[in-house]
Structure formats: C-alpha cells, structure tokens
C-alpha cells in the first residue's frame, strides 16, 4: 500500500515537472515567434529617435556634433517638446535639474530668441565639465551656466532625500523648469524635491517638464505634487520615456 502511494506521488511529481518543462518550451517558442516583430518595433522606434535628433540638430544649427550619450541623454522626443516650448514661449529664465544635451539645446534656443538664460544644476563634476566644454565650443557661455550643485540631504514631509544644493542658483523668477535628474536609481521619488524646493520661485504661467514620467516612481511623485500644489494643470505626453508637463496658474487655487 505504502509502495503504491509512493509510486503515485512519484508519478505526479514527474507529470508536474513535464508540465513545467512543456510550459517553458511554449514560452520559449513564443519568445522566438515574437522576435521579428519586436526587432521591427525596436528598429522603428530607434529610427524615429534618430530622425528627431537630426531634425533638432538642423533646426538649431548645432552642426559641430552633439554631446549625445545613449545611456544618459534625454530622448529626442523629449528634447523636441522642450525646444518647441522654449522657442515659442521665449522664457527669460530656464532652470534645469541635470545638465547635458538639454542644456546645449535650451541655450541655443535662448540665443535664437535673442533673450533668456539657462541655469543647470549639476551634481557630477565630470558631467559639469563636459557640458561647460560643449557650451563653450558653441560660444553659448552667455546663455548657459552649469552650476556645481552636489546632492545634499533634505528632509521633506518626514522623508529624507538627496537633492541639489541651491546655494549658487541665482534668486530669479523661473519661467521654465526642466527636470531630468537626479537619476531614479539613487533613491525613491528621486525628483520629488524639485517642486517643494522651487515652487515659490516659479513664475505664474511657468511650465515644468519632467522626463521619464512613464516610470511608476515618477507617476507617484507627480500625484504627490498635484495633491500638494493644486495650482498646477497637468498634461501627460506619451513620449518614449513619458513626459509630464505642469503649468502653474497661481489664481487657480484662489478660484477653486
């Protein structure tokens, strides 16, 4: 009797193992079947980004090369959104969280507009030096300042964050705020401190662009901002990495 039960258990185990293997095999087959479609979709996305980079380069006349880095640079569809806004709204003061291609393009927009300046908060000394070199190469030093802003400890609503030191940021009304740092991997809700710490400096009608807004972490922090600052109107744009645009209407809270 005991022997029969043991055989049955053994057979059941073997059957379960076979089922798992079969399932794995099917998933593997499906992954192989999906491969051409996935490669095609990836290639299409890549070409769209390359085309957008080239059109930005031509539009802005940045023909001596772009400081593009595959892992770190903002995607071209996000750059297009901020460039479009900068050329149409002609902001006087642009503040940026993290420097790079964004700084160069926004500085060039200011030059084309004949007005405006970019102040870029940068925690990485090497990044800061690299961006300054690009700005100098294009002769845009009057239009962009990269500020050495190490990440320092801040406590906001009982939570501790590491965020840019603001000691060297000039005390100006901010018309456009571009948030592409600090990187998400250094802490939860990494970019959350931007609005609690800069809200009072934002001009009425000022616009905030948040990159990587498709990530769950960024979606959460946008919800936190909107709950804390009801004077913002929020628009989500489905770029490759997602972009949240927040427009400040200071009289919205008074009217509500």
Ligand X SMILES: C[S@@+](CC[C@H](N)C(=O)[O-])C[C@H]1O[C@@H](n2cnc3c(N)ncnc32)[C@H](O)[C@@H]1O
Interface residue list for ligand X (CB under 6 A): 72-74, 98-102, 122-124, 127, 180-183, 186
State the nearest-atom distance from the C-beta of 116 to ligand X, in Å.
18
State the nearest-atom distance from the C-beta of 147 to ligand X, in Å.
11
Task: Report the residue closest to ligand X, judged by CB.
Answer: 100
Question: Which CB, 93 or 123, lies closer to ligand X?
Answer: 123
Question: Which CB, 13 or 125, lies closer to ligand X?
Answer: 125
Question: Which CB, 178 or 248, lies closer to ligand X?
Answer: 178
State the nearest-atom distance from the C-beta of 58 to ligand X, in Å.
18
Question: Which CB, 97 or 202, lies closer to ligand X?
Answer: 97
Please state the three-class secondary structure of the chain as a single string.
CHHHHHHHHHHHHHHHHHHHHHHHHHHHHHHHHHHHHHHHHHHHHHHHHHHHHHHHHHHHCCCCCCCCCCCCCCCHHHHHHHHHHHHHHCCCEEEEECCCHHHHHHHHHHHHHCCCEEEEEECCHHHHHHHHHHHHHCCCCCCEEEEECCEEEEEECCEEEEEECCCCCCCCCEEEEEECCCCHHHCCCCCCCHHHHHHHHEEEEEEEEEECCCCHHHHHHHHHHHHHCCCEEEEEECCCCCEEEEEECHHHHHHC
State the nearest-atom distance from the C-beta of 88 to ligand X, in Å.
20
State the nearest-atom distance from the C-beta of 107 to ligand X, in Å.
12
Count of Cβ atoms closer than 10 Å to residue 185 Cβ: 7
> What CA–CA distance (Å, rounded) separates 50 from 232?
33
State the nearest-atom distance from the C-beta of 69 to ligand X, in Å.
7
Question: Which CB, 147 or 231, lies closer to ligand X?
Answer: 147
Question: Which CB, 183 or 196, lies closer to ligand X?
Answer: 183
């Amino acid at each position: 009797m005991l022997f029969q039960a043991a055989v049955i258990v053994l057979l059941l185990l073997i059957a379960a193992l076979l089922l798992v293997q079969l399932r794995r095999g099917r998933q593997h087959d499906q992954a192989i079947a999906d491969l051409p479609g996935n490669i095609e979709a990836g290639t299409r996305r890549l070409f769209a980004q390359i085309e957008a980079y080239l059109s930005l380069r031509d539009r802005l006349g940045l023909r001596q090369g772009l400081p593009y880095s595959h892992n770190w640079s903002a995607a071209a569809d996000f750059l297009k959104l901020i460039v479009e806004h900068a050329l149409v709204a002609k902001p006087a003061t642009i503040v940026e969280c993290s420097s790079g291609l964004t700084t160069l393009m926004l500085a060039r927009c200011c030059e084309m507009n004949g007005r405006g300046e970019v102040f870029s908060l940068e925690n990485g000394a090497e990044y800061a030096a690299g961006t300054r070199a690009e700005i100098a190469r294009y002769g845009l030093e009057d239009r962009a300042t990269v500020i050495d802003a190490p990440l320092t400890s801040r406590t906001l609503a009982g939570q501790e964050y590491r965020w840019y030191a603001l000691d060297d940021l000039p005390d100006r009304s901010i018309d456009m705020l571009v948030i592409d740092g600090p990187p998400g991997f250094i802490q939860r809700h990494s970019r959350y401190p931007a609005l609690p710490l800069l809200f009072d400096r934002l001009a009425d009608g000022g616009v905030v662009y948040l990159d990587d807004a498709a990530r769950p972490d960024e979606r959460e922090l946008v919800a936190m901002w909107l709950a804390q600052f009801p004077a913002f109107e929020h628009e989500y744009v489905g770029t490759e990495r997602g972009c949240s645009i927040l427009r400040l209407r200071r009289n919205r809270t008074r009217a509500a």
